[in-house]
Amino acid sequence: MKKIINPPKKDWETILKRPTQTIEAVENTVTSIFDDVKRNGDDGIKRYTAIFDGVSLDELCVSAKEISAAENALSDELKEAIQQAKTAIEKFHLAQKTDKVFVETVEGVECWQEKRPIQKIGLYIPGGTAPLFSSVLMLAVPAQIAGCKELVLCSPPNKKGEINAAILYTAQLCGITKILKVGGIQAIAGLTFGTETIPKVYKIFGPGNQYVTVAKQLSTKYGVAIDMPAGPSELLVVADDTANASFVASDLLSQAEHGTDSQVILVSTSIEMLNDVEKQIESQLLPLSRKKIAAKAIENSKLIFVETKEIAMEMINEYGPEHFIVCTNNNEYYIENIENAGSVFIGNYTPESAGDYASGTNHTLPTNGYSKAYSGVNLDSFLKSVTFQKISEKGIQNIGKTIEIMAEAEGLTAHKNAVTLRLKSLIK
């Protein structure tokens, strides 16, 4: 990791730059695949599955037999862990339910807001060497609580034409019956346009690489909503001498192993802590199963010393991390002043891994600085707020003149007339 001491503010933007490609670098590929899938449907999906996943498929849908086999393939221990995580996630997201909002703004004018589920949801679950079955829980559980009617799950197959057993088991545990063997750009295109097999959806959720992220952004041009721009994973830790250097290093490595384009940053007011964490990373890296991936990500990462907590806080808010771990002698200062972060982890015994799996919070979070404007996935992500109004005779008399004056000032005489006619009808 590159060590940086007291960087001047003018250099922060360069120092905190993410190691991601620009949209322009991948947009042509994404656009061409979208066009192909739009024209050719399942045939286009299968062609790109053969190219990118190395397998030719006759059927894109996962069968009931495959789902049953997946359940039998998992250990009881793993199934119990998945169930425990599901329970925690359900508990946290159930608590996010809100009541109808009702108010009479003036006498005779009643306004209220109710939430309705988004009917058709697409879930994208990465596969490959790190099949994220935990993301099934994070997306399907709140979708079920919200009452979404149709859930479609896409995940890339392996070279045997199979989806990871843990993904299939978790999907059926969450009540998902439409599971498709399709990944990458072509999966997002299929959910955007619909094909002979893949239903068109109203909103797409799920993490992915830079190509998937750009594909999701492109889908919005075709009237499909997305959860957020969620690309390569990232973590920022702020720690001082009260932190445990081995814990900090383990957290940094836990995000570095996601992918070579992940980024992890340690900000500290202690040079000694930076040095201790650097040593811990070197030793902890060696036995990791994804050592090469983590090592490459570490090359993109930084150890930054600043003199005060105030400078640290300003830098962190400027970066807007996806995950933010606080391990200092004044955690409350950072809790109170953090403005831009996807999810915050507090204290020596709160690893970022807890939020990834089983604490109950959602791990689908904004990356690449989007935490400055986006929230992570939550129950409301699967709901729409619909407003209602009901106006009585007394009510239209109370606000009618106001509407007429404003409509006339905007030159919208039909708007004014819609009120004037009603007011005249009430004159005795």
* Alpha helices in 108-195, H assignment, sequence order: 133-146, 165-173, 184-193
Are 2-20+232-360 and 23-230 in the same CATH fold? yes
Are 253 and 354 in contact, with CB atoms under 8 Å apart?
no
| Contact between residue 8 and residue 307 where contact means Cβ atoms under 8 Å apart | no
Give yes or no: 323 in active site. Answer: yes
Q: Which two tokens stand for residue 373?
A: 């404007």
Q: How many residues does the chain have?
A: 428
pLDDT at 22: 64
**Is 415 considered catalytic here?**
no
Closest C-alpha to 299, from 261, 343, 332: 261
Q: How far apart are CA 45 and CA 190, in angstroms?
A: 7
Q: What is the pTM of this model?
A: 0.93
Q: What is the reported pLDDT for 144?
A: 97
The residue annotated as part of the active site, out of 93, 323, 363, 404, is 323
Domain parsing of the chain, residue ranges: 2-20+232-360, 23-230, 393-425
Q: How far apart are CA 234 and CA 323, in angstroms?
A: 6
**Cβ 284 vs Cβ 246: under 8 Å:** yes
pLDDT at 280: 97
Q: Supply the pLDDT for residue 21.
A: 61
Classified by CATH at the fold level, domain 23-230 comes out as Rossmann fold (3.40.50)
253-267 in b/e burial notation, b at 16+ Cβ within 10 A?
A: bbbbbbbbbbbbbbb
DSSP secondary-structure letter at 61? B
Phi, psi of 389 (to 5 degrees): -145, 145
What is the Cα–Cα distance from 271 to 255, expressed in whole angstroms?
22
**Cα 171 from Cα 167, distance rounded (Å):** 6
Q: What is the pLDDT of residue 18?
A: 87
Q: Tokens standing for 270?
A: 């202690």
Q: How far apart are CA 26 and CA 22, in angstroms?
A: 7
Of 162, 15, 177, 169, which is closest to residue 80 (Cα–Cα)?
Answer: 169
What is the distance between the alpha carbons of residues 136 and 341, in angstroms, rounded to a whole number?
A: 23
pLDDT computed for residue 131 by the predictor: 86
For the chain, 428 residues long, the average pLDDT of each consecutive 10-residue run is 94 89 80 97 97 95 95 96 98 97 98 98 88 95 97 96 96 94 97 98 92 93 91 92 97 93 95 97 95 92 96 98 98 98 97 96 94 96 98 98 98 98 94
Q: CA separation (Å) from 10 to 3, 14, 337?
A: 17, 9, 22
pLDDT of residue 229: 77
- Strand bridging mode 263-268 / 203-205: unpaired
The active-site residue out of 234, 257, 322, 352 is 322
Give the CATH class of 2-20+232-360: alpha beta
